[in-house]
Amino acid sequence: MWDNTRLKSVRALYEEEVLQIPVLFKDKGDYISFLMAQTWQESGWDDSVTSPTGCKGFAQFETSTWRWVWTKLLKQDPPSIWDLKSQIIAQHTYMKYLINAVSKKEPMLPRQEILASSLMAYNGGLGVVEWCLEYHGLVSVIALRDYRNTHKSKYPDEAKIQEILNYPVNIFNLWLSIRQLLYNLKIESPPTQ
């Protein structure tokens, strides 16, 4: 699935750009592998890709989210959305923000649920996930449909609901695989769940 050279080069980029990690992660390597799994799911580590919905680059940002992360969270003028290092910085910053937001909203959730909800927020929108947590206590098919009906919206449609719910599962599987490969290459400690 992954070329070892590409795996090492992507990891080196993250190692260089990720300076602080959320408290839910035991070490920087664990967090970097998590982010790598997410960008593999998003773009296959292709920094030149544009999705059918208009998301761009390595971490697949919508233009409005890109602008928001850079101006509100990083307090800087947004660089080019195509800049690979800027994508990594924005992804890392946004995921930390989402993890903290979900943790504050539902502090008693187990680690895996906080990470899953944070990933669903990255994929489906933080407002949607926060609403589901507030009114249903979790993100589910029923909660997402209720969000759509309550807001008299077409979002999320049934296909997007399935995508939102499957997104964390796919990333968790990729995350474990990446940790195992990095361990086999003697770059990381043994993977754990």
Q: What is the pLDDT of residues 96-108, one digit of tens each?
A: 999 999 999 888 9
Entry pTM: 0.93
| 25 and 115 Cβ atoms separated by less than 8 Å | no
> Is the predicted pLDDT of residue 193 greater than 70, yes or no?
no
CATH number of 4-184: 1.10.530.10
Q: How many CB atoms lie within 10 A of CB 52?
A: 5
Q: Buried b / exposed e across 90-124, counting CB within 10 Å, b at 16+?
A: bbbbbbbbbbebbbeebeebeeebbbbbbbbbbbb
Structure tokens at 64: 């409005």
Return the percentage of the chain with pLDDT > 90, whole number: 85
Split at pLDDT 50, 70, 90, the class of 189 is confident
* Residue boundaries of the structural domains of the chain: 4-184
